[in-house]
Each structure stands twice: as C-alpha cells, then as structure tokens.
Amino acid sequence: MNMIISATWKEMIRRKMLLIAAVLTVLFLAVYWFIGDTVSGEVHGDLLMQVARRNAILSLGFFFAGFVVAFLAIFGSFSVISGEAEQGILQSVLTRPLPRWKWYIGRWIGYVTLIGAYALLLFAALLWITNIHAGLTRDYGDILVSLLLFLGAVPILVSASMLGSTLFSGIGNGVFMTMLYGASWLGGMVEKVRSILPVEENVQATLSRIGTLLSLLTPADGLQRRMLFVLTQGSDERIPFLTGGNPPSDTFVIYSAIFVVFAFGVGLWLFKRKDF
C-alpha cells in the first residue's frame, strides 16, 4: 500500500498540479498581504469595526482557499479509476498480486495526505498574514477546531470524486463533481442571502430548506462556512451579520463524517465489483 501512496504523490507532482497551485497561491498570498496591510492601516475607532474588518480579511482569504483546495481534490482524483482504465494502466496494475482494496485505499490516502498537507500550509499562511496585519484574538482551541474543519473538506471531496470515478468517465466525473460542489456552494450563498434579505417568514423558511438541501449534496462548503464562523467568532458566539448567516450545526458536522464513510465505502465496494 505504501507503494500506491508514493505513486499517487509522484503522479500529482508529475502532472504539475501542485506546482501550478503553489505558484498561484504565492501570487494570491502576495495580494492578500497587500490587502491586509492596506486595511490594517485604516483600522481605527470602535472595537466592533476592527473585528468586522479583520473578519472581512479572513473571509476573502478563505474564499480563495476553499476553492483552490476543492479543485485540487476534485481534479486530482476525478479520473483515478475510469481514466486509468481507459488508458489500460489500471489493468496492468491489477494483474499483479495486489488486492483491489489495497489499491483503492492507497490511492485515497495518497490524495488526502498530499492535498491535506497543502491545505494545512495554506491555512497557516493565511492566519499568519492576518495576525500580522489585523490580529487574531481567538484562542488555540478555536484555531484547532477551524483547522480540522478546513481539512475536513479534503476527504469529503476525494471520497466523492473516487466514487464518481467508478461510475462515470474521467471527463464526465470532472463535470459532475464540479457541478456538485457548485451546487453546495450555491446552497451556502442562499443561506447568506436569506439572512440579509428582509423577506417574510415563510420565504425565509423556504430559502433555508433549499440552502440546506443543496449543502447536503456534498458538505465540503458547509464545513468551510462552519470553519470561518468558529475562526472569526468562536464556538460559542453568535453575531451572524459578520459572517453572513448562521453556520451549519454540529449535526451537519456529524453528517459530513457519515458522508465520507458512506462515499468511501460505496466507492470501494463498486471498485471491487467492477469489470475492467
């Protein structure tokens, strides 16, 4: 299995996906530094305004971070099964005395660990820049919880993408996963708009149900919103207008864990039964 994990890392590096992401990330962090420095120079007055500006900086940073981690997870693994089967690579690998479950789990661990390491470095860089320019008053417990929630999007998307790769072609799965993630992101936007618009209570309830259903399709974006809420306000504070609506609940976090187990288990089961 270690050989499969190592091969997955080498494949990601060889395809230069991480290199491209790293270059774009460095450029974004340079812009993010400039934005933080510009905004911090204007932070005067009451404490609430300072907190709001700091949270705005964090929201901007993690808006980019959430998308880049999501697309790395999706486009890194969207053709791992169907794509390699079409090229004849998978057939040659599976003819060796290697159980299918070991190959599948090794691939999954390879993607999750490498993309997770990238996400960890990106999270630390954003917090470091924000702390320099705007300060971070959260305790280490909130930061740790936020980090775990941020990293949680990686196994969710990798599990869903590998499951999709057992059902669709490489290109088809890439489109499917992009649309699926886009739908969940739209659900988050519906929740934010619902909290801002001055509409009637029944309309609020309808928008809330729509947003929740869309977020359940793939809970990666919901975890990102929960992460940002904890990071900017703390686990026990409730100031919705600073982050655009109430965050997903603890039940949603539990659902996210169940989603990973379900998608991973179904994908492994389908892969073991699939004919190549």
- Distance of alpha carbon 106 from alpha carbon 272, whole angstroms: 14
Least confidently predicted of 163-167, 203-207, 240-244, 245-249: 240-244
Place 84 in a pLDDT band, splitting at 50, 70 and 90. confident
CA dist 53 and 43 (Å) reads: 8
Is the Cβ–Cβ distance between 227 and 62 less than 8 Å? yes
Question: Which of 72-76, 129-133, 218-222, 255-259 has the largest mean confidence?
Answer: 255-259
Residue 248 has pLDDT above 80, yes or no: yes
**Among the listed residues 94, 73, 85, the one whose alpha carbon sits nearest the alpha carbon of residue 18:** 73
Residue 243 has pLDDT above 50, yes or no: no
Of 102-106, 137-141, 253-257, 263-267, the one with minimum mean pLDDT is 137-141
Distance CA 267, CA 174 (A): 16
In whole angstroms, give the CA distance from residue 230 to residue 197: 23
Q: Which amino acid is at 98?
A: L
- How much of the chain exceeds pLDDT 70, in percent? 86
CA dihedral (179, 184, 188, 191) in degrees, to 10, reads 110
**Residue 149's CB: how many other CB atoms inside 10 A?**
23
Q: Is 212 helix (H, G, I), strand (E, B) or coil?
A: helix
Lowest mean pLDDT of 1-5, 155-159, 214-218, name the range: 1-5
Please state the separation of Cα 257 from the chain's center in Å.
13
- Range of weakest confidence among 9-18, 117-126, 135-144, 160-169: 135-144
Q: For 134, phi and psi rounded to 5 degrees?
A: -130, -10
What is the per-residue pLDDT across 189-224, written as a single tens digit (0 to 9) for each? Answer: 887 777 676 667 777 778 778 888 888 889 999 999
Q: What is the DSSP string of 143-206?
A: HHHHHHHHHHHHHHHHHHHHHHHTTS-HHHHHHHHHHHHHHHHHHHHHHHHHHHS---HHHHHH
Mean pLDDT of 216-234: 87
CA separation for the pair 124, 267 (Å, rounded):
32
**The overall pTM is greater than 0.75:** yes
